[in-house]
Structure 1
Amino acid sequence: MMNADVHGGRGQGPCIVIDPYSSGALFTEALRSQGVPVAAVVSSPRPPEAYASSYRPQDFPDVIVYDGDLDDVVRRVRALDPLCVIAGCESGVELAERIAPRVLPELSNVPELAEARRDKSRMAAAVRAAGLPVIPQICTANVEEAAAWLESEGLIGADLVIKPPKSASTDGVIKVQGGTDWRAVFERQIGRINQFGEVDDRLIVQKFVTGTEYVVDTFSHDGKHSLVDVCSYGKVDNGPNMAVYDTMRWLPPDEPVVATLAEYVFDVLDAVGVRFGSAHVEVMGTADEPVLIELGARPHGGGQPRFNRNATGDSQIDRTVRWLTGGELPQGYELLTHQMCVFHMARRSGIMRDTAVLDEIRTLPSHHFSVQNLSDGDRVSVTRDLVDSLNFGFVILAHPDDEQIKRDYRIIRALEQKLVIEEP
């Protein structure tokens, strides 16, 4: 059971999870198993569509709905005498950043830098101000302002990325090859409604950089950062759609790039004012140096902590619980088994047939977990982003022999080629 006096005798009530969706839904069982009650605050009456399937309101005796009255929510949260206030997923970050400093300032991030932990433009500005390298970019609602910036930066005719400053899961991220028709892309995307139901009233235009993309997951307390896991992404172009997820591979902690990434990411966390809780940091390892892609002040999504536990014996969820209950926290991690996530991919849109060919995946030697969400007769959209990938499904391969994982990966892609996607 929880010791109420751990960490300075703060609240003896529940851990408040803001938007307990996606990986945030995993806090409930982990906390309750250690005698810590949980309550939910939701940032809107209904969860964003991308997260709806992960929401379990029956898990929470108290669900407080934010309806625009922040003072009322703060009053109700204070009345629960909470142990902590944390964001469950990206849609809850902004509200968590507004509530935590008013309820538990000693367990909050730097309030003055709150926008730098959600808005990718403010994020890059804060990191740049700290003297750290970032990707050249501008954030604007004005296409002519973007054009002037491209000329001043010598980026006319260069590969570009256009994306919203507030979204997630590569939603709305578009690569513009050679800068061709970037104006048309900008004008088409401005004013779009993103997956969180928000209007993309500004857009980031940035230089397209190449290298290996990494994700670094951390847990922080009292401004001290620890490394939970590091993974490398494999991404591919799927027709005109860039940044389509192919694989995610867990890296051994002694791989040389891990120490370099950790040093850079810890500096980034300081720059944007992260002092408590989980962070999910995406970094491009260019030929010269690591540069920030974006940061989420919340756990790695998509249920990743469950799979991270298999690979490392630990997760951001577990570290949060251990810290809240007085347990010891490591500064790094160990890799117990080689592990890779393989994201299913639809090469075109249409009606799905012959999905039974994917049943063979469960017989592969390295198969650990898999989910396929499509059946014969279902309509599938061409895979454009991570949300599409997760709607289709994915496979977790884990094995002591990394070569076995590579063999099984090739088999999965060969099986996908046998799927029939018919014109509707």
Structure 2
Amino acid sequence: MSALRVAVVDGYSTGAQLVKELLDRGAEVLHVRSGPTLAPYYVPTFHPADYAEDLGYDPDPEAVAARLTERGVRHVVAGTETGVVLADRLAQLAGLPGNDVGLAPARRSKFRMAEVLRAAGLDAPLSTLVTTADEAARWFTGSGLDAVVVKPVDSAGSDHVRICRTAAEARQAAAAVLDTANLFGHRNDTALVQEFLQGPEYYVNTVSVEGRHIEVETWRYTKDRTPEGAPVFDFEEPADPGAPEIRDLHAYLWRALTALGIRTGAAHSEVVLTARGPVLIDPGARLGGGVLPWVSAKLAGHSHAGLLAAAIANPAELSAARLPLRWEQPVRYVSLINHFPGTVRDLQWSSRFNDLPTAVAVAAVARPGDELPRTRDLLTSPGFVYLSAATRERIETDYRTIRTWESSPLYTS
């Protein structure tokens, strides 16, 4: 019997780990590029040797779909955010399982997302698109809101996200967005100005099969802010899936995913639990990034990437999995924070973190010789650490040790 053939569109970031999970399950993987160039952020994460064939970039989706059909491809999946729209388009053209292509813009644009959710009778952030900084200031003034979030309409990784409490701050933040390209190298022609939602923020990782949404895990964010209003990720911990507020959050989210046309594959959804109820702020129709799937597999038996691969290549494995994930003991994902701009001198700090009693894994994103600014988003974090122990108190001790180390120059010189 020939191997199952799967096409991955933009197998970067966590998509590279998905490919390895597919290979482990006996699949043969082909690669498709959604664009002619690759953003520098993704270059180190692409592993061409993992693919049976790299079809490269072709601006004609119909031609690509025909090539996939010729090669017997049975599934098309996005590896990362840039591949979301093309993956669903190729699946449609090839007659393979996929999401509603008519709603693809709402799965990439946070503004279109809000429009679709409201049309479905679901709560969504009040928001607008602006093409000038002055428009952002005027909208803030007329909105009656105490605070807004300004960000690119279709980026990721907290890229150029700013929380603004005055019209002047909104103007400055919008100007910064409109003056740059997003994480994926695309020029920001518009900026999103959105209601700042108060309340705890969660992300929910799911796998959908024929329109049925399966919870893999739910984590709660803890964030700080820079003086300029940029959210800085501090740490994340798994939420109790049985808590009433989490059940309510899931009930809302399943309706939201359906409204956004998600029928198959992974989703990484960010939701704020406000006083008026849960509100989706970011629909990611793909795996979440910045994680180590093997840690989840070790501590909870499965990972999001592994379960997506199972849904594609071994559905019985997904059906047999005990979900949502149950963690053997408390775990915390800590985002590292650099306070001292400079050149990354070495990775000795990584060894220090690995020696902490509760350390499970350390991922160094910054490399020796890199210029590392003060951390203002996920892109400028030196890396991340997983901590786990029998008690939360032991985790807290090592977490405080990390933050103490970071109060002096640690990553740079």
Flag whether TM exceeds 0.5 (same fold): yes
List alignment gaps of at least 5 residues for structure 2. none
The answer on whether the counterparts of 1:25 and 1:54 sit within 8 Å (CA) in structure 2 is: yes
Hey, what does 2:106 align to over in structure 1?
Answer: 116
The answer on whether the counterparts of 1:312 and 1:337 sit within 8 Å (CA) in structure 2 is: no
Q: Which amino acid aligns with 1:27?
A: L
Distance 1:412 1:148, change over 3 A: closer
Question: Are 2:1 and 1:16 equivalent residues in the alignment?
Answer: no
Aligned residues: 409
Given candidates 31, 36, 43, the residue that maps to 2:22 is 31
Distance 1:290 1:122, change over 3 A: same
Q: What CA distance in whole angstroms lies between the structure 2 residues aligned with 1:321 and 1:377?
A: 36
Q: 1:192: Cα distance to partner?
A: 2.1
RMSD between superposed Cα atoms in Å: 2.4
Q: Which amino acid aligns with 1:141?
A: T
Distance 1:68 1:223, change over 3 A: same
1:41-60, aligned counterparts within 5 Å?
A: 41-60=32-51
Hey, what does 1:71 align to over in structure 2?
Answer: 62
- TM-superposition CA deviations, 1:339-389 (whole Å, max 9, x none): 111111112423456974564322222110013355777532111111111
Q: 1:52: Cα distance to partner?
A: 1.2
Hey, what does 1:88 align to over in structure 2?
Answer: 79
Q: What CA distance in whole angstroms lies between the structure 2 residues aligned with 1:142 and 1:178?
A: 16
Relative to the length of structure 1, the TM-score reads 0.89
Question: Are 2:407 and 1:413 equivalent residues in the alignment?
Answer: no
Hey, what does 2:330 align to over in structure 1?
Answer: 338
Given candidates 194, 199, 203, the residue that maps to 1:211 is 199
Hey, what does 1:8 align to over in structure 2?
Answer: none
Q: What CA distance in whole angstroms lies between the structure 1 residues aligned with 2:350 and 2:315?
A: 45
Hey, what does 2:178 align to over in structure 1?
Answer: 190
Q: Which amino acid aligns with 1:18?
A: V
The answer on whether the counterparts of 2:28 and 2:52 sit within 8 Å (CA) in structure 1 is: no
Hey, what does 1:126 align to over in structure 2?
Answer: 116
The answer on whether the counterparts of 1:355 and 1:419 sit within 8 Å (CA) in structure 2 is: no
Moved more, 243-252 or 172-181: 172-181
Hey, what does 2:378 align to over in structure 1?
Answer: 386
Q: Which amino acid aligns with 1:326?
A: P
Q: What CA distance in whole angstroms lies between the structure 2 residues aligned with 1:360 and 1:183?
A: 42
Distance 1:52 1:355, change over 3 A: closer
Moved more, 65-74 or 212-221: 65-74
Hey, what does 1:174 align to over in structure 2?
Answer: 162
Q: 1:256: Cα distance to partner?
A: 3.7
Given candidates 127, 130, 136, the residue that maps to 1:137 is 127
Distance 1:376 1:83, change over 3 A: closer
Given candidates 315, 319, 329, the residue that maps to 1:326 is 315
Q: 1:153: Cα distance to partner?
A: 2.7
Q: What CA distance in whole angstroms lies between the structure 2 residues aligned with 1:175 and 1:15?
A: 41
Given candidates 381, 404, 413, the residue that maps to 2:394 is 404
Distance 1:188 1:243, change over 3 A: closer
Q: Which amino acid aligns with 2:407?
A: Q
Q: 1:230: Cα distance to partner?
A: 0.5
The answer on whether the counterparts of 1:160 and 1:208 sit within 8 Å (CA) in structure 2 is: yes
Q: Which amino acid aligns with 2:247?
A: A
SS in 2 for 1:134: coil
SS in 1 for 2:42: helix
Q: Which amino acid aligns with 1:266?
A: W
The answer on whether the counterparts of 1:253 and 1:334 sit within 8 Å (CA) in structure 2 is: no
The answer on whether the counterparts of 1:161 and 1:205 sit within 8 Å (CA) in structure 2 is: yes
Q: What CA distance in whole angstroms lies between the structure 2 residues aligned with 1:267 and 1:190?
A: 33
Q: What CA distance in whole angstroms lies between the structure 1 residues aligned with 2:410 and 2:398?
A: 21
SS in 2 for 1:121: helix
SS in 2 for 1:258: helix
Hey, what does 2:226 align to over in structure 1?
Answer: 238
Moved more, 189-198 or 14-23: 189-198
Distance 1:235 1:260, change over 3 A: same
Hey, what does 1:7 align to over in structure 2?
Answer: none
Q: 1:254: Cα distance to partner?
A: 2.8
Q: What CA distance in whole angstroms lies between the structure 1 residues aligned with 2:58 and 2:112?
A: 26
Seq. identity, %: 32
Q: 1:74: Cα distance to partner?
A: 1.4
Q: 1:401: Cα distance to partner?
A: 1.6
Distance 1:311 1:282, change over 3 A: farther
SS in 2 for 1:293: strand
The answer on whether the counterparts of 1:353 and 1:419 sit within 8 Å (CA) in structure 2 is: no
Distance 1:303 1:64, change over 3 A: farther
